Amino acid sequence: MGRSLVQEARAWNGVQIIAIRRIISR
């Protein structure tokens, strides 16, 4: 157990980065 948390955290980080990049691009 614990792998799910790591994967979720990585996915969340990617989503946050994409959202920030999209906001900056605007």
12-26 pLDDT, tens per residue? 999 999 999 999 998
Enter the pTM of the model: 0.51
* Residues belonging to the chain: 26
In whole angstroms, give the CA distance from residue 15 to residue 17.
Answer: 5
C-alpha to C-alpha distances, 21 to 9, 13, 25, nearest whole angstrom: 18, 12, 6
Confidence of residue 1 (pLDDT cuts 50, 70, 90): low
Confidence of residue 3 (pLDDT cuts 50, 70, 90): confident
* DSSP label of 9: H
